[in-house]
Amino acid sequence: MSVPIRYSIEGRSASAIARSIEEGARAGRIAPGAALPTVRALAASLSVSPATAASAYRLLKGRGLLATAGRRGTRLSHRPPLATPPALPVPPHLRNLADGNPDPALLPDLRAILRGLRGRGPLYGEPDRRPALLRWARRDMEADGVTAEHIAIVGGALDGIERVLQAHLRAGDRVAVEDPGYTAVLDLLSALGLIAEPVQVDDYGLRPVELREALRAGAVACIVTPRAQNPTGAAFDPRRARELRAVLSAHPEVLVIEDDHAGPVAGLPALTVVQPRQERWAVVRSVSKSLGPDLRLAVLAGDGLTVARVEGRRALGAGWVSCVLQEIVERLWSLPATARRLRAAAETYTRRRQGLIDALARRGVPARGRSGLNVWIPVAEEAAVLAHLATAGWAVRAGERYRLRSPPAIRITVATLRPSEAERLANDVARALSGAGRRASA
């Protein structure tokens, strides 16, 4: 079967070929991660010149739809920036430890807050930022050593990261990122036409030597997670934060973005690598893990120019973050019961995370997870381990989507893992690793 028939790729011009591939992705005929034909094969099948086929691929790469995977060739992005058929849900007979969600039972109940909301929100031209929310945000940031003279409200952590990147970077710029790192950040870079420069992560976050190398290689920005790093659970300690600040001090022109997505439920204090010499920076703190994913709100502190650009660009598009959401978050933050609930959630996640790590260690299985909602387990072959665990009744996440150069692993979300389940899961993981053939070192 020829390549065009297989994928229904058509067209005689670069734009028509690109449009055909995009439509195939949108309709689900070309699955995320699917290998596309080589330039020569595509050109021969469509009876066009190799230059035309190559130009079509360049158009799609610039839009973030295609990714070059070395010897694996050119593939459709795992998460192309367009609406595609939804991924298949986790089968109901499997225990879902794959989705990365917080435990719903540990989130605050919004019903009383919703009943107590004030009347209408602002009209066009009226103030669209709630002063009390900004005061809470500034106090929270400054308690963790983050300068919060300039602060913005954005529609979640990724919204803030995207707006900061667009405020300063252009397609083709290199960005130092964690490896393994959060899939949505990697996908966002691809969609913006930015080049990810992988930096190895250990239990304490970015490794300073590798970050220094990435900056010397031309990275003009750096995205870091201070705690609850997804997927490994890495978190800065004071020594690592000092080492990273020292590296960044030699590159004050580099844009530094801190993604503190888990905030107060991470299980460890927040430490920042932003230092006074940094010219352009932003610290984004979301409420999604602590108060609930549907509260699409995050606070963003940064230098004056960065915050001004973020707010200015937002004003031209979305306008503002709903003041209804702002009021809900403000009221929750003001309640002593919320503070108690967040402390209890952080302690619960820590017990569940450490309980699994300890159970795995008793079976000789190394695992990582200093903070947050996930445990990262090195394996020799991801697909085989996932298949073994599915047979045993568990759904976990393959590490491939999180990795650039780092070795294979699986991610287990422990947010809802009951203590009674940890021993059985550890047994099944150990059997899966043995059944997969050999165990990878940490």
Q: What percent of the chain has pLDDT over 70?
A: 95
Q: Which helix (H) or strand (E) holds 417?
A: none
Q: Could you tell me the end-to-end alpha-carbon distance of the chain, in angstroms, rounded to an integer?
A: 43
Return the CA Rg of the chain: 23
Nearest to 240, CA basis, from 224, 256, 255, 251:
224
Q: Which of the four pLDDT bands, split at 50, 70 and 90, describes residue 71?
A: low
**Residue 71 contacts residue 371 (beta carbons within 8 Å):** no
Which backbone phi and psi does 220 adopt, to 5 degrees?
-105, 0
Q: Which amino acid, residue 95?
A: R
Provide the CATH topology of domain 3-76.
Arc Repressor Mutant, subunit A (1.10.10)
Q: Which amino acid, residue 252?
A: P
User: In the predicted model, what is the mean pLDDT of the chain?
Assistant: 91
Q: What does DSSP say about strands 255-260 and 281-286: parallel, antiparallel, or unpaired?
A: parallel
180 upstream amide cis, omega within 30 of 0:
yes
Average pLDDT over residues 50-57: 92
Q: What is the tens place of the pLDDT at every residue in 141-167?
A: 999 999 999 999 999 999 999 999 999
Say which CATH class 95-104+338-435 falls into: alpha beta
pLDDT of residue 124: 87
pLDDT of residue 115: 87
pLDDT of residue 442: 44
Q: Name the residue ranges covered by the structural domains of the chain.
A: 3-76, 95-104+338-435, 119-335
Query: How many other C-beta atoms can be found within 10 angstroms of the C-beta atom of residue 24?
Result: 19
pLDDT of residue 201: 97
CA quadruple 303, 237, 399, 401: dihedral, nearest 10: 10
Average pLDDT over residues 361-366: 97
Average pLDDT over residues 414-438: 90
Largest CA distance in the chain: 69
Query: How many other C-beta atoms can be found within 10 angstroms of the C-beta atom of residue 88?
Result: 6
Nearest to 193, CA basis, from 207, 214, 174, 219:
174
Say which CATH class 119-335 falls into: alpha beta
Average pLDDT over residues 174-197: 94
Q: What is the tens place of the pLDDT at every residue in 403-423?
A: 999 999 999 999 999 998 999
Single pTM value for the model = 0.87
- Mapped onto helix, strand or coil, the DSSP state of residue 95 is strand
pLDDT of residue 225: 98
For 192-252, the DSSP string reads TT-EEEEEEEETTEE-HHHHHHHHHTTEEEEEE-SSS-TTT-----HHHHHHHHHHHHT-T
- Is pLDDT at 438 greater than 70 in this prediction? no
Q: What is the tens place of the pLDDT at every residue in 19-31?
A: 999 888 888 888 8
- Is pLDDT at 53 greater than 60 in this prediction? yes
Q: Which of the four pLDDT bands, split at 50, 70 and 90, describes residue 6?
A: low
